Amino acid sequence: MAESYRRSRWSNGLFVVPYLSVFLTLLVFPLGWGIWLSLNKVDLFGGERFIGLKNYARVLSDPIFGQAVKNTVIFVGVSVPTLVVLGLFLALALNKTTKGSSFLRGVFFASSILSVTIVTLIWRIVFIPNDGLMALIFEYFGWQPIGFLSTTGWSLFSVGVATVWWCIGLPMMLFLAALQQIPKDLYEAAALDNTSRWRVLTRITLPSIKSTIMLVAIIQVVMQFQLFGQAQLMTNGGPAGSSRPIVMYIYEIGFLRWDIGMGAAASQILFLIILCAAMLQYWVSTRKEETDA
């Protein structure tokens, strides 16, 4: 009967058992096990010896890790503002119901659905010296050719270009969704007053989507901190480590050098960084609900 349906029962919990068992074995346990591994010296045959925080000390004093952190921070610092500003611009330009706008929205979002291997394959072919699309364009204008993927100053930049190309769809879509939610009467008042477009943008539009701008920025920070595939496939971190991000460092230590304890320690450090950003995201999104309501 109706009351019994609402009553608390152990048997109702059976519905969550399948998911929870997967959740515990494949997420919670490995999380704890990863922390344990980071406190041990692990040899390849599965033996562990507790060494406390030594792995963390090794990671933090490794100059290659320092370089990877520096690369990642620069990458995040440049790619995230680019994605936010470009995404906002596209959303403002394409916030219309015309066929042309809807086609362009489709174009800008389409790249997001490709896998990192396809994206990097495309961009590597674009950047090949002599024969790539970029080389042809440079030749056409008579510019000095650049080794986009093989020059220290350019490798991380080229990875960033491919990343922005790949990721621009989501910020644009989130901004479009936010623009749709701005109350129309705000604009009606502005139209009656004959306010200039620039004032409408800075006084009405941007303040109304402030929380979305924050949210998009934080989502992108979390995502771009996890940069891996683009760098690994396009430049393999080179030349001279100039485009090696943190995740690639973890991959190399954990899965190429098989120093599992040290790799686990590096991944916990990254987790801590991402967790801080994610907490910020949660905090902003809950505050957003309050202000929206």
Partner 1 sequence: MKALNYSPEHLTSNRRLFWIAAFLGLIMMAPVAWIIGLSLKDNAELLKGTEAVFSFPYTLENYANILKSSSVFGWFMNSVIVAVGQTFGVLLLSSLAGYAFARLEFPFRKTLFIIVLFGLAVPEQAVIIARHQMFNWFDLHNTHIGLILPNLSSAFGVFLMTQFFRAIPKEIDEAAMLDNTSTFRIFWKVLLPLTLPAQATLGIFTFLQAWNDYWWPLISATKSDMYTLTIGIASSQTNFAQSEGLGFLGAQAIFASLPVVLVYIFFQRHIVTAVSGGAVK
81 binds partner 1 (CB under 8 A): no
Decide whether 74 or 165 has the Cβ nearer to partner 1.
Answer: 165
89 binds partner 1 (CB under 8 A): yes
Q: Which amino acid type is present at position 237?
A: G
Restricting to residues 126-165, name those near partner 1 by CB under 8 A.
126, 128, 131-133, 136, 165
Is the preceding omega at residue 239 within 30 degrees of 0, hence cis? yes
10 binds partner 1 (CB under 8 A): yes
Binds partner 1 (CB under 8 A): choice among 107, 145, 202, 240 = 107
Q: Taking CA 223 as the corner, what is the angle to CA 292 and CA 56, rounded to the nearest 5 degrees? A: 120
- Least separation in angstroms between residue 236's CB and partner 1 is 9
49 binds partner 1 (CB under 8 A): no
60 binds partner 1 (CB under 8 A): no
Binds partner 1 (CB under 8 A): choice among 63, 141, 153, 192 = 192
**Contact map string, positions 221 to 260, toward partner 1, x by CB under 8 A:** -x---x-xx---x-------------x--xx--xx----x
What's the Cα-to-Cα distance from 152 to each of 71, 82, 106, 114, 120, rounded to whole Å?
A: 12, 21, 35, 27, 18
Select from 50-58, 59-67, 68-76, 84-92 the region that touches partner 1 (CB under 8 A). 84-92
Which residue matches tokens 């990458």?
Answer: 75
- Least separation in angstroms between residue 138's CB and partner 1 is 13
Binds partner 1 (CB under 8 A): choice among 66, 96, 143, 257 = 96
- Least separation in angstroms between residue 52's CB and partner 1 is 18
- Least separation in angstroms between residue 156's CB and partner 1 is 19
Q: Which amino acid type is present at position 80?
A: V
What's the Cα-to-Cα distance from 66 to each of 59, 77, 102, rounded to whole Å?
A: 9, 16, 44
